[in-house]
Structure 1
Amino acid sequence: MRDRRQDGGRMGQARPARTRVAVGLHSLGGALAVGFALWVLAWPAAGPAVGWRALLAAAYVASMVSAVARCRRSGWRREDVAMLVGILSSGAGSVYWAVVLLGLDPVPSLSWADPLWTAVFPAVVLSLTMEMARGRLPQRDFAIDALIGSAGAAAAVLAFVAPLLGVPELGAARPAVQAAAIYVAGDVVLVLLVVTAISTFGGRHAPHLWSRLGGLALFALVDALTLVSGGEQGVMDGLSLRSVGLLLGFMLLETSVGWRLPVASRPIRRGSTLVMPIMGVVLSLAVLVSRWGDTTARGLAAVAIAIATVRMAWSFRAVAALADTRRLAHTDDLTDLPNRRGFARAARERLSEARPTTIVLFDLDGFQDVNEALGHGAGDELLLQVAGRLRDVVRPDGADVVARFGGDEFAAMVGARPGHAGDEDAEALVAAVGGEYTIDSIAVQVSAAAGVVHAPQDGSDLDELLRRADVAMVAAKERRLSTLAYTEELDTRSRDWLRRVEQVRAALSGGCVEVHYQPKVELATGEVVGVEALARLRIDRELWMPGRFLEIVTKAGLLPALTDQVLATALRDARRWEDAGFPLSVAVNVCAAGVTTGRLPRVIRTALDREGLRGSSLVVEVTEHDLLIDHASGRAALDEVRALGSQVSIDDYGTGYSSLAYLRDLPVDEIKLDRTFVAAMSGDLRGTEVVESTVRLAHRLGHRVVAEGVETGEDLAAVRDAGCDLVQGYLLARPMPAGELERWRDSWHAGSLDTLAQPAALAEAVPAPRAPAARPAPQAVAAEASVAGRDLT
């Protein structure tokens, strides 16, 4: 069901054909129809006078009902409710006058209808104040400005009326003149308020305010005629000029209810809000310096001047606070250097003048070490000292600007100077920053790397210049340079990187992950007992090896998604092999995020249940580096994995920092000797002794040992002599798709391992799925083997 409050709140926009004039005519037509009916009914009984009074009362009642309906359709917004209260009160006063007071003889000049009529004044002020607040103008400011204008206008009207009140000829008309003076003062104030609101919002954005202005202007005109006529028109007698004018004004006020300022086009012209206070002050000064006015008028003028003085003091405080806020918004609160916003403002101003400018973007090397070793307080002290050195280097005349962008990143904008190139200025800045600092009585060494761009040669858009400076800064760090100027060649890698990231992301979301398997053979029996699952990506009909996408998925945070897909595919193939009668365990390398966040056990449990496999069908491989991130969380996750029946293998064993501690503390079933250990055994007694001692230690702790990266018969013989349990490598087979693995397994037999262990066995090895000519050079074999043993490769 649609919200009627919403529908009504948009009535000024949703029904453009119903303009304020059309609505006013509609209300007037309805009122006249009702009044004419009452007039026809009343004429035979009481004559034409009663008929006219009935017509007036009916017109007011119809307008009041229309105002209520409008307010209801608008959702009873506060500003409409405030205006409605004033309209109902004024309308009630008019109905009371027409029905009751006009039947008296004589008709009183002042009655209970007057306070009902004057209620419209505060209602208009309150409604406008609320509406101005919706237009993002402070209510307090508008209310004070209205008070200044009201007091000044009232003082001026009283000063003009005071001489008239002293004329003896007024006689019985004096109360009517006094009432008319009050009404004129109020009308003038309200007209000024509405004019201020219209000029503030813009006339075309506030059509209902024009209706309100027309109604108040008619009120002012009628009351002014009453005032200057000495009260002769003070009595509303049937369809007189005053009664018709007041009725039309009332109807225009009624049509201003229920409109909403368009949110999308609500421009605030804050200079227009000064109309009210300025006019109030001018009128007050005129009253004070002139001879007009009595004590009351001069008192009101003095009050207006006093309020204006207070308003001015508040304005000065607000301006000072705004200036301070603006300065803080453009300044780094730690170093008091300009921040990114302040730098951008100064840089855009410089670039708009098309003056040669050099922008230097740099950060500190070694800052994180200071933060971690000495605490953030020491880091802040270092940043303060760096800012001090930068101030000493740049020119104090404003031609150079240095800023802190955040963290340990700084930027500088250097203007051109005779005899100096921008690159030289950049080198001077970096040289000033680098060097020794004393923090908490400790000497620390800090250096910096900077990227440099020149405008307008490298562009004139600040965002693009900063991006290019960042590209140059990253390249400077990689090349271990202090400064490096931007060139298009530096940007090629950045753009290519983004393109490859999107390619990899699309491949993962599109299910383009392929899993190849490398068999693991038991050395004691020669039987194939398991495989390692290795990921490949099919992108643009090309098979991407791990060397092309592993860094991308790692830095882009895509490793968990890749792990899930590889795990699902590997267990699905394991299910098929088990159903075919030759079960194989699959080893899947998992990422650090899965181990340390605790999501790994949940993912494994879900995948096993989906395929209906036992936990023993899976071997989880995790590197020592991953376990270094969070030792406690890693142990807890691996305990849960083993509780599922799966086994845990430490991949790339020996390349970390705490291998012996892992063997002692972690729930491990298997260790995989890194390729570097296997290669070191050939003809090297020390390398052989390291492997043999590692195998003996692992066996005593109840772990089996897998030798990976076995590429020659000598490697195979060496790891067998060292006592390893399992072996995998190019000598046995390359990684291959599931279908080719099944054909390879059919051709494998236990004696194949003995054949491969002979020195001359390479030429007679069991054929791999690929042609022998495709075997890479030894260096390439070693490179892919080192990648294949890590992170889902």
Structure 2
Amino acid sequence: MWWHLCTPSDSTASQLGTAVAGLAVLVQGLLVGTAAPPSKAEVVVWRYFGAAQAAIGLGVALDALIPATSSSDGWGGAGLVLGAAAGSGLVYQGAIHWNRFRTLMADPGDWLNGVSAAGVVVSAGLLIVDGAHLPMAHWSRFHLVLWLGQTGSLVVLFGTALTVASLGGLTRDRRMWLMSGALGLGASLLVVVGASGSQGDALRAGHVAWLLLAVALGCGSWMRPSTAQVHPPTTQAAALGAVVVLAAGIATLVGTALVPQRDPLAVAIAAAACTGGAVRMLHVCRDLTELATTRLEARTDELTAAANRRGLHDALSALPSQHPAVLLVLDLDRFKDINDRFGHHVGDSVLRTLADRFRSCLPDQGLLARMGGDEFAVLLPGCSVEHASEIAEDIREHSHQPVEIGGRLLRLGTSIGLATTADLGDLRPEVELTRRADAAMYTAKRSGSGIVAYTDTLDQIARREHALVEALQLALGPDARPDGLAGIGMHLQPQVDIATGRVCGAEALARWTHPELGPVAPDEFLPLVEQQGLMSALTVRVLGLSLDAARRWQRSGRELSLAVNLSASCLTTPELVPTVQAELLRAGVDSSSLTLEITETTLMSDPEVALRTVRLLDEAGVTVSIDDYGTGYSSLSYLDKLPARELKLDRSFVGRLDHDQRTSAIVAGTIQIAHRLGMRVVAEGVEDAATLARLRELGCDQSQGYLHARPMPLAAFENWLVDYEASVAALDRTLGQEPAAQQ
């Protein structure tokens, strides 16, 4: 059939065969466009290809069925013009969408580049045909442009298909090679037939070339797609294509200007191609600029304009091997309290201010990154450990300077961990260096030492701390589980009335048993609880256990008060007072049985909020006790303002009471002042009878310490209480009998 289509003899049969072939391709295109392709992801691609087949088939059929368009004279081939123009555009769009599916980056609006490229081919062809006086120079201008346009379209589509195959990983896809082969063969057929100089043969060769492409698309629609993976996006191909088209258009336009007898049509087409190429190039530049901006934003923290975690990761990944570098990881101290009290807008202002301060401490090659929340990192390429330590000290000094926000002076601190690439070996810095600096930072935060450099021994500490934090989150975090909460308990230490020797209450102390590591010392887990923002949850847990114990004692006839410690973060939490009231109501315990202990440091960290909260607690009937008195600010002014009803002398004073006259005088004066203010005094850390006797002489009300008992679990405390009460009763009976015997 192809031979008849190319042969001028028997024109009626040839036209009939062409019409049948065109209509068959039209029907096939409609079927391909509406049928489900083998791959659902390629639905859009094959809809475009099906529409292209239909357009090509319709154009070829029109040329064969309408005499005005089937002639090789005048406007013969007008149907092919329409079919080829629509078909080439639809094939190009299908290929572009195929590329977008395979690489996730191609722009379906890239048609301008294809049209401009085809225009360059037509303009250059006109220039070459006229300049070299080739045989087709005697054709009508319409048919010459038609032939060049078809050839240019097929060449552009052929190049596009090869580009998509390369970029999209389709070099082994038989469908792509079938389409590419049809495009290449069609373009070659047009060139060879056109070179023979026959205008009519060139027209019929166009029919064959486009029908060949349509048939190839139809066959490809039934083939199975390849299993190649989607390739990562790249911008080089789009930019290079736009540059090549623009450069070719400019070269063609310059060539037309150098020809003595300029062809206005060639100049117009070249100018249009240059304009299209320039517009596409502007679009590419705009897209590249937006992409660069997006990539920068993806690596930049919006709040502080520092790099974000991804930006730091990329910078660490790009470090040359064997190149010295130091990473600092910074964590702000007391930032959560500021955020909770003043709101996130104040916290954001603090972060911006500190980020600017940190940035001013860095050398030119240093990189500041915000890891999230109140954690920052500083990458110092080419920096020695000694110089990095100096920079860390400078950062700490800047962080300790007050931050003024809305007329408030806010004070923070920074814990810094330092790690170097010197001994990383083949380990990846973006993983290992960050881990090491994190471990050093947590050690610095826990120890309060400010700056800690990583050592091998920190790994064990870091692993243990990580295990503890995970377990604490399971026990007290938002996703706490009942089995995790089971490890959180309390120990009780009795408080004894010094005058009568009877137990009047107990202090509840948080204790934790890790499911695998066993009992964890309070000095180890309480700082972690505070760091993780879980202190309120822990306080509620201990408060609930304490009130449950108080309810049991009340039902058994024992009137014992229970004291629970409050941290600074708890005291500034608005939910504290409602939570305490709710727990008292749940347990059915009178508020007078509960004492909440707050330290001087806690009070002075935010006196305004502390005073308001303490007053609310006092109005609720809860006793407020000033704990560790003598170790903090020891301000007499707030003793007058605070409605506290109890004062606890710190063990550092009580321990020196019996052998230090100056300490004894301070304690005596403190007890007198407290009594005049209507407060009872509790001495903690009482470990021997001589100290207890001295406290009795000074008029102290209650004592607490190892002299009476160590902190113990609830069951042990209740057993101890029974034994202690029995011994006190026995002593009372003995003392009561002595006077009678003497009489």
Q: Which residue of 2 aligns with 1:68?
A: 34
TM-score under structure 1 length normalisation:
0.64
Contact 1:60 1:94 in 2 (8 A): no
Aligned to 2:506: 531
TM-score by length of 2: 0.68
RMSD over equivalenced CA pairs, Å: 6.0
Confirm whether residue 195 of structure 1 aligns to residue 162 of structure 2.
yes
Partners of 1:64 and 1:91 within 8 A in 2: no
Q: How does 1:90-489 map to 2 (within 5 A)?
A: 90-94=56-60, 101=66, 109-111=76-78, 114-129=81-96, 135=103, 137=105, 139=107, 145-159=113-127, 179-204=146-171, 209-210=176-177, 212-214=179-181, 216-217=183-184, 220=187, 227=194, 228=196, 230-232=198-200, 246-253=210-217, 264-266=230-232, 268=234, 270=236, 274=240, 278=244, 281=247, 285=251, 288=256, 294-301=263-270, 304=273, 352=321, 354=322, 411=380, 413=382, 455=422, 462=429, 464=432, 488=456
Structure 1 counterpart SS, 2:626: strand
Question: Alpha-carbon deviations, 1:211-269, whole Å to 9, x = none?
Answer: 54355446546655774573445788xxxx97676445224445778989977434648
- Checking the alignment, whether the CA contact within 8 Å between 1:526 and 1:749 is kept in structure 2 is no
How much has 1:465 moved relative to structure 2?
Answer: 5.9
Identify the residue that residue 339 of structure 2 maps to in structure 1.
none
Partner Cα distance (1:79, 1:565) in 2: 61
The answer (yes or no) to whether the contact 1:361–1:412 under 8 Å persists in 2 is no
Task: Tell me if structure 1 keeps the 8 A contact 2:492–2:712.
Answer: yes
Give distance in 1, aligned partners of 2:202 and 2:378: 78
CA contact (8 A) 2:564 2:595 kept: yes
C-alpha distance in 2 between matches for 1:521 and 1:202: 82
Residue 741 (structure 1) shift: 1.9
Gaps of 5+ in 2: 1-12, 336-349, 371-375, 402-414, 477-483, 733-743
Distance 1:226 1:666, change over 3 A: farther
Q: Which moved more, 1:425-434 or 1:276-285?
A: 425-434
Instruction: Find the counterpart in structure 1 of residue 4 from structure 2.
Output: none
Q: After superposition, where does 1:738-757 map in structure 2 within 5 Å?
A: 738-749=714-725, 752=728
Task: Tell whether the 8 Å contact from 1:194 to 1:213 is kept in structure 2 after alignment.
Answer: yes
**Alignment-derived partner of residue 565 in structure 1:** 541
Q: CA deviation at 1:517?
A: 1.0
Q: After TM superposition, give the deviation of residue 654 of structure 1 in Å.
A: 2.7
Q: Distance in 1 between matches of 2:172 and 2:230?
A: 10
Quick one: distance in 2 between partners of 1:667 and 1:72?
Answer: 80
2: CA distance between counterparts of 1:269 and 1:262?
20
**Alpha carbons of 1:612 and 1:81: their partners in 2 closer, same or farther (altered >3 Å)?**
farther
2:645 and 2:602 map into 1 onto residues whose CA distance is: 17
Give the corresponding residue for 1:650: 626
Do the aligned residues in 2 keep the contact of 1:200 with 1:269 (CA within 8 Å)? Answer: no
How much has 1:593 moved relative to structure 2? 1.7
Structure 1 residue 512, shift from structure 2 partner:
1.7
Partner of 2:6: none
Residues 661 and 746 of structure 1, relative CA distance in 2, 3 Å threshold: same
- Tell whether the 8 Å contact from 1:705 to 1:724 is kept in structure 2 after alignment: yes
Letter of the 1:154 partner, please give it: V
Structure 1 position 67, deviation (Å) = 0.6
Structure 1: stretches of 5+ with no match in the other structure: 1-46, 369-374, 392-400, 415-421, 440-447, 757-793
CA contact (8 A) 1:359 1:469 kept: no
Letter matched to residue 167 of structure 2: T
Q: Secondary structure at the match of 1:203?
A: coil
Partner of 2:407: none
Partners of 2:18 and 2:285 in 1: CA distance:
57
* AA aligned opposite 1:101: I
Cα separation, partners in 2 of 1:151 and 1:432, compared to 1, 3 Å:
same
Give the superposition deviation at 1:64: 1.0
AA aligned to 2:512 is L
- Contact between 2:492 and 2:711, CA under 8 Å: does it hold in 1? yes
Q: Residues 608-649 of structure 1, C-alpha deviation per residue, up to 9 Å, x if partnerless?
A: 344343433432222222223323333344444445443322
Equivalence for 1:710: 686
Following superposition, the deviation at residue 532 of structure 1 comes to 1.0
Distance across 2 between alignment mates of 1:340 and 1:380: 15
2:527 & 2:70 partners in 1: Cα distance?
Answer: 101
For the 8 Å contact 1:515–1:566, the answer to whether it is kept is yes
In structure 1, C-alpha distance between the alignment counterparts of 2:565 and 2:166, rounded to whole Å: 70
Contact 1:516 1:534 in 2 (8 A): yes
CA apart distance, 1:385: 8.3
Q: Is this contact kept in 2: 1:180–1:223, CA < 8 A?
A: yes
Q: In the TM superposition, what is the alpha-carbon distance from 1:519 to its structure 2 partner?
A: 1.8
Cα distance change on mapping 1:637 and 1:261 into 2, 3 Å: farther
Which letter does structure 1 place at the counterpart of 2:213?
G
Q: How big is the shift at 1:751?
A: 8.2
Structure 1 residue 72, shift from structure 2 partner: 13
State how far apart, in whole Å, the 2-side matches of 1:338 and 1:695 are. Answer: 56
**Using a 3 Å threshold, how does the CA distance of structure 1 residues 266 and 60 change in structure 2: closer, same or farther?**
farther
Structure 1's 149 and 458: CA in aligned 2 closer, same or farther, altered over 3 A?
A: closer
Moved more, 632-641 or 739-748: 632-641
More off after superposition, 403-412 vs 81-90: 403-412
| DSSP-derived class of the 2:382 partner | strand
Q: Tell me if the contact between 1:669 and 1:704 (Cα under 8 Å) persists in the aligned partners.
A: yes
In structure 2, distance between residues paired with 1:284 and 1:382: 52
User: What amino acid is the match of 1:666?
Assistant: L
Distance 2:119 2:250 in 1: 8
1:380-428 Cα distance to aligned partner (Å, 9 max, x none) = 99879866xx79xxxxxxxxx77777889674636xxxxxxx8898899
How far residue 475 of structure 1 moved from its aligned partner, in angstroms, is 9.1
Structure 1 CA distance, aligned partners of 2:84 and 2:377?
A: 68
Distance in 2, matches of 1:706 and 1:623, equals 14
Counterpart of 2:609 in structure 1 is 633
> 1:75, 1:465 → 2: CA distance?
41
- Note the C-alpha offset of 1:516: 1.4
Letter in 2 for 1:513: I
Q: Write the mapping of 1:608-627 to structure 2, written as runs, cut at 5 A.
A: 608-627=584-603
Aligned partner of 2:740 in structure 1 is: none
Equivalent residue for 2:488, pick from 513, 525, 530: 513
Name the SS of the counterpart of 1:748 in structure 2. Answer: helix
Residue 728 of structure 1 is matched in structure 2 by: 704
What one-letter code is carried by the residue in structure 2 that aligns with 1:654?
A: G
**Alpha-carbon distance between aligned partners in 2 of 1:647 and 1:720, rounded to the nearest angstrom:** 23
Q: Secondary structure at the match of 1:119?
A: helix
- Does the CA contact (< 8 Å) of 1:57 and 1:95 recur in 2? yes
Q: Match of 1:413, as an amino acid?
A: G
- Structure 1 window deviating more from structure 2 (625-634 vs 216-225): it is 216-225
Q: Does structure 1 conserve the Cα–Cα contact (< 8 Å) formed by 2:167 and 2:231?
A: no
- Hey, what's the Cα distance between the residues in 2 that align with 1:753 and 1:714? 23
Contact 2:419 2:453 in 1 (8 A): yes
Whichever residue aligns with residue 270 of structure 1, its letter is: Q
Change (3 A) 1:450 1:497: closer
